[in-house]
Structure 1
Amino acid sequence: MRNGPKRSDSIQVASSHLITTCATLAAIILFVVLGVRVVPSSFGSAVPPSGSLIAAFLLNIAIILFGWRRAKELAQAMAALAHAEQEAHRNAYVDCVTGLANRRALAKALAEKLRTSPVNGAITLIDLDHFKKVNDLHGHSAGDDLLNHVGKLLDDIAPKDSVVARLGGDEFALLMPVADAKDAEERVGAILQSLSAPIDVGAFHAHLSASAGLAMLVEGQSAEDMLRRADIAMYSAKRAGRNTLRWFDSDQEAEIKERAILEDEIRQGIDGDEFLPFFQPLINLETGETSGFEVLARWRSPRRGLVEPVDFIAICEASGMIAALSMNVMRKALIEAKDWPAHLKIAVNISPVQFRDPQLAERILKLLTETGFPARRLELEITEGSLIEHPEQAITVVQSLKNNGISIALDDFGTGYASLTQLQALPFDRIKIDKSFVATIGESEQSAAIVRTIASLGKLLCVPITAEGVESETIRQQLADAGCQDAQGWLFGRAVSAQFVRDHFDLPAEGSEGPLDPLDTIDHERRDGDRRAAARARLAAGRKW
């Protein structure tokens, strides 16, 4: 028995068992002694046995019966304790879904392997690509069935004396003996090829692919270091486009370290109030007037300068910082735009990660109360992914926001796989066509057809359609002809600071963030050039962007 509470319980049960057994044996011996005296006296003696002797005899019978029952109960307790020990060991070292080894068991086996000499082996981490879609479309039960299928396949393919483990989610690991690096690569390549074959699991048909990271075992390294190397290589495979294999190398490790440094700087930047809202105009295609602004976060880093969202949003979502960042930037935007003209709406993106918080609606409503920003002028942009991961909770949050007068826009429409379902589940106030379709509307008849179809759908549903990523006058005209009401993109201007918006729209300055930073002026003058001059001319003619 291991040290700890279970060992103490075992000792107590064993001690109780020993005491009961000794007492029962003593009672049996006494029963025999009394029986020798009582039984002959009952049948062959003229003098009947004394009452005390008979009472003692009967008492011994009772003690023996009690001891037998107690011994039976103790035996059952010992069996239950042994079963609990087995279950505890299983829970500690076996994955409950697939029956494979878990992370703890793999780490133990890996540590033992690294202590042998010579160390001939490799560790690979295998992550299923887009596995989340299986859970979203078919349910978690189907997802578990698929994980079981993959685990069995890996166990069948793995060479003798290998350890196959599921580390969690859709991530598997394989510790295998190999002759050299070429042997390891061929074996993992065969695994990826097997996983790519069509799979029938239950009532659905699946096409899988996987990304794998591979590292040769190195004597003197710890199990944790080897797992980290394979993990770094696996994420390199994902960044390379998935469905591929990557070896670990030192450059990847340097990249991971740089990412960790960036993550720390982002966290410090949130605490240091370095993130601020920029505003990109939304233009009415019929009148050419500005109908509102989309809020986009920018990071004014002391070391990196003005950083675009593409360089920090994904890291914030992965590290759990997105909620703090989003609410901080939203607060600043609402304070800034509170006294702008009443017809200007402010659109703010909400990450799917934020919808995991059941208190999201309350937090946003509290923010409106604190800033004094009118709910009817706030529009929240959400993607289909926000409604798929936790559909019931997300719909409850969205409905609560709508009931308080906040508009909801469905962002990046057309890129998901459940768009029409989401439109039916929740009445949106706006649909935004993804820029991937807008950018190719003049080159691809398929993109043009998609844009026209979405515009027609919006007309039927009485929902305005906004096109993202408009970069030319030709595209603007095609969108207007298709029936889109609003648009945004570089044709009308990039996202600009609050100071720039105030200067060129002659807006009130309450809640100002202060003078425009020279970095903003230089950056925007350089990037917008002639577009900005045209914007100023349109503004002077009638406040059109």
Structure 2
Amino acid sequence: MASSHLITTCATLAALILFVLVGAKVLPSAIGLSKASQPAMVVAFLLNTAIILFGWRRANDLTHTLSALKSAEQEALANAYTDHTTGLGNRRSILRELERAFREGGAKGALLILDLDHFKKVNDLYGHATGDQLLQFTGETLRQEIPETGFAARLGGDEFAAYVPDASVAEEVARRIVALLAAPVSLGPVKTQLSVSAGLAHLNRGLNPEEVLRRADVAMYSVKRSGRNGLAWFDEEMSRQLQNRVALEEEIRAAIEADEFVPFFQPLISLESGELNGFEVLARWRSPTRGIVEPVEFIEVAEQSGQIGALSMRVMEKALQEAKEWPQELKLAVNISPIQFRDPRLAERIIKLLTETGFSPRRLEVEITESSLMEDREQALTIVQSLRNCGISIALDDFGTGYASLSQLQTLPFDRIKIDRSFINALGQNEQSAAIVETITALGRSLNVPITAEGVETPAVREKLAAIGCADAQGWYFGRAVAGHVASMQFAPKVEQPGAQSPLADRGRAGGKKW
């Protein structure tokens, strides 16, 4: 560009000099000027020529500048409305398309939003290049399946949107897309399969593009909450649920700040001796307006809103403070959410709590589920090993409900295995559940790992578990979870006759989701 500009400048100067030399000799004599007036004429001629050439040059430069500016603006506009990974439009472009649809189409269409379930696992297992290939495959599928007058966009991450001008065919189009994306796909040497959650919303009159987008998003998240891999239309009930959920998130946030979450303690009993071995810590929300709230009401929301870490660590801190003066043979078991394993400093935070409270690491048992090890396996194993190195025991919780249980036992030597309550509840009614419990118990004996049964509710189940060699048990038969000051009253060496005479033996159904 610089060399071209230099050549043009030199050529212009050469032409100007040549023109002036010729004009200075020919023009005065041609028009009959006297010699006295010839110098003035030459000067005027030169000035006018220079002005003309300068103007031409400036106009030419301005033309090039405007052309470059226009190209830059077009490129910037394309960048502003295009997703470069997939070549689809982006969030801004789908909003613009919806505005046009409202303006010109009479709001007759529908908006589809879809999200690839567990997309993060593809990136973690196969790398971001493979993840980008899957996004590109999704984009190409949308291009091929939506009508020609429709429009597709990538909203960000693994979330996509598509405008279907004819709402009467929108569900058919959406189901076809969901089925295609849920099928196995080969990405170079990698073959993977994902499910898709999708939501649909009508472009009703009186709405605006942002509201339609929000409605489709609400419908999509309702599918995720229902188990993923499906499709749903937005309805007003979903909107009410969303508002209630947002309100609950804010309540939980305020409750954490107000220190309203407290530990309750459920007894762990030796089936061989009947002795109290320790307690499992369960969270309760002591709300001034709701009363005592069970975990089933708040744990999932706390996990999905990113508040589970703060809630969990505060409850654990209180439990350690309350139990540190209890008999030293009593262990304390605490549950760790799979979400917390995304924090690389989790082990450090737990060890810090032990140091600050003075609670012995050898009295603490951390319960984790198989899903804790699946999202970021290497990080989870590093955290678990750091805890074990400090003397903290590790229990594999809800054993039998995951799809990789035996491989987990090979990967990491757990200190305890807990059989999920779903198998225990069906022990006396279902031969298959009885066989599973017996097999897990035998596996524990061969690995020299004690087995704990969850959810024991009847004396018959207790006797059956003791007969097949289960080491410990917990459940409503032995007592529900109670506050720390109540639990501290019950350090009798044996719990032989569960009944209503002691708080720990209260078999009232506490219910609630474990965490």
Distance between the aligned counterparts of 2:79 and 2:5, measured in 1?
A: 36
Q: Deviations over 1:340-361 (max 9, x none)?
A: 0111100111111111111111
Which residue of structure 2 lines up, in the alignment, with residue 454 of structure 1? 440
Letter of the structure 1 residue corresponding to residue 163 of structure 2: L
* 2:112 maps to which of 105, 108, 124: 124
Do residues 468 (structure 1) and 451 (structure 2) align?
Answer: no
Q: 1:95 to 1:537 in 2, by over 3 A?
A: closer
Do residues 163 (structure 1) and 163 (structure 2) align?
Answer: no
TM superposition shift of 1:207: 5.9
Structure number with the bigger relative contact order (C-alpha 8 A, sep ≥ 6) is: 2
Unaligned runs of 5+ in 2: 20-63, 507-515
TM superposition shift of 1:536: 6.9
Do residues 532 (structure 1) and 512 (structure 2) align?
Answer: no
Q: Deviations over 1:116-169 (max 9, x none)?
A: 351221102223455566667766665554444343333212111212223344
Letter of the structure 1 residue corresponding to residue 11 of structure 2: I
Do residues 280 (structure 1) and 302 (structure 2) align?
Answer: no
Distance between the aligned counterparts of 2:303 and 2:78, measured in 1?
A: 34
Which residue of structure 1 lines up, in the alignment, with residue 385 of structure 2? 399
CA contact (8 A) 1:115 1:219 kept: no
Do residues 25 (structure 1) and 8 (structure 2) align?
Answer: yes
CA contact (8 A) 1:145 1:202 kept: no
Which residue of structure 1 lines up, in the alignment, with residue 27 of structure 2? none
* 2:349 maps to which of 344, 356, 363: 363
Q: 1:536 to 1:417 in 2, by over 3 A?
A: closer
Letter of the structure 2 residue corresponding to residue 354 of structure 1: Q
Distance between the aligned counterparts of 1:135 and 1:23, measured in 2?
A: 52
Unaligned runs of 5+ in 1: 1-15, 37-74, 508-529, 539-545
Q: For 2:456, what is the secondary structure of its paired residue?
A: coil
CA contact (8 A) 1:430 1:466 kept: yes
* 1:184 maps to which of 164, 170, 183: 170
CA contact (8 A) 1:470 1:489 kept: yes
Do residues 224 (structure 1) and 210 (structure 2) align?
Answer: yes
Q: For 1:469, what is the secondary structure of its paired residue?
A: coil
Q: 1:437 to 1:143 in 2, by over 3 A?
A: farther
Letter of the structure 2 residue corresponding to residue 25 of structure 1: T
Which residue of structure 1 lines up, in the alignment, with residue 253 of structure 2? 267
Letter of the structure 1 residue corresponding to residue 99 of structure 2: A
Q: For 2:501, what is the secondary structure of its paired residue?
A: helix
Alignment RMSD (CA, Å) = 3.4
CA contact (8 A) 1:136 1:388 kept: no
Distance between the aligned counterparts of 2:116 and 2:366, measured in 1?
A: 32
CA contact (8 A) 1:212 1:234 kept: yes
TM superposition shift of 1:490: 1.3
Distance between the aligned counterparts of 2:349 and 2:505, measured in 1?
A: 41
Which residue of structure 2 lines up, in the alignment, with residue 149 of structure 1? 137
Q: 1:132 to 1:451 in 2, by over 3 A?
A: farther
CA contact (8 A) 2:487 2:504 kept: no
TM superposition shift of 1:409: 1.0
Which shows bigger deviation, 143-152 or 393-402? 143-152
Distance between the aligned counterparts of 1:218 and 1:353, measured in 2?
A: 38
Letter of the structure 1 residue corresponding to residue 296 of structure 2: V
Distance between the aligned counterparts of 1:532 and 1:225, measured in 2?
A: 55
Q: Deviations over 1:72-100 (max 9, x none)?
A: xxx9xx99x979984x6666444454433
Distance between the aligned counterparts of 1:261 and 1:481, measured in 2?
A: 49
Matches within 5 A, 1:83-162: 86=75, 92-129=80-117, 144-162=132-150
Do residues 484 (structure 1) and 470 (structure 2) align?
Answer: yes
Q: For 1:424, what is the secondary structure of its paired residue?
A: helix
* 1:337 maps to which of 319, 323, 331: 323
Do residues 290 (structure 1) and 258 (structure 2) align?
Answer: no
CA contact (8 A) 1:434 1:467 kept: yes
Do residues 434 (structure 1) and 420 (structure 2) align?
Answer: yes
Which residue of structure 2 lines up, in the alignment, with residue 352 of structure 1? 338
Q: Deviations over 1:368-418 (max 9, x none)?
A: 111111111011111122222122222112111111111111111222222
Distance between the aligned counterparts of 2:220 and 2:211, measured in 1?
A: 14
Matches within 5 A, 1:207-246: 209-246=195-232
Q: For 2:114, what is the secondary structure of its paired residue?
A: strand
Q: 1:139 to 1:448 in 2, by over 3 A?
A: farther
Which shows bigger deviation, 195-204 or 375-384? 195-204
Which shows bigger deviation, 314-323 or 193-202? 193-202
Distance between the aligned counterparts of 1:501 and 1:118, measured in 2?
A: 66
Which shows bigger deviation, 348-357 or 215-224? 215-224
Distance between the aligned counterparts of 1:33 and 1:261, measured in 2?
A: 79
Which residue of structure 1 lines up, in the alignment, with residue 61 of structure 2? none
Which residue of structure 1 lines up, in the alignment, with residue 42 of structure 2? none
Which residue of structure 2 lines up, in the alignment, with residue 175 of structure 1? 163
* 2:299 maps to which of 306, 313, 320: 313
When normalised by structure 1's length, the TM-score is 0.75
Q: Deviations over 1:267-326 (max 9, x none)?
A: 110000101000111111111111111101000111211111111111111111111101
Do residues 372 (structure 1) and 355 (structure 2) align?
Answer: no
Distance between the aligned counterparts of 2:155 and 2:222, measured in 1?
A: 18
Q: 1:90 to 1:392 in 2, by over 3 A?
A: farther
TM superposition shift of 1:332: 0.4
Q: Deviations over 1:30-63 (max 9, x none)?
A: 5678999xxxxxxxxxxxxxxxxxxxxxxxxxxx
Distance between the aligned counterparts of 1:25 and 1:207, measured in 2?
A: 61
Which residue of structure 2 lines up, in the alignment, with residue 70 of structure 1? none
Letter of the structure 1 residue corresponding to residue 201 of structure 2: A
Q: For 1:230, what is the secondary structure of its paired residue?
A: helix
Do residues 324 (structure 1) and 313 (structure 2) align?
Answer: no
Letter of the structure 2 residue corresponding to residue 362 of structure 1: E
Which shows bigger deviation, 116-125 or 278-287? 116-125
Letter of the structure 1 residue corresponding to residue 390 of structure 2: N
Q: 1:175 to 1:311 in 2, by over 3 A?
A: same
TM superposition shift of 1:242: 4.0
CA contact (8 A) 2:486 2:503 kept: no
CA contact (8 A) 1:114 1:220 kept: no
TM superposition shift of 1:449: 2.3
Q: For 2:417, what is the secondary structure of its paired residue?
A: strand
CA contact (8 A) 2:267 2:504 kept: no
TM superposition shift of 1:327: 0.8
Distance between the aligned counterparts of 1:376 and 1:140, measured in 2?
A: 41
Distance between the aligned counterparts of 1:416 and 1:233, measured in 2?
A: 28
TM superposition shift of 1:448: 2.1
Q: 1:244 to 1:26 in 2, by over 3 A?
A: closer
Letter of the structure 2 residue corresponding to residue 160 of structure 1: E
Distance between the aligned counterparts of 1:103 and 1:444, measured in 2?
A: 52
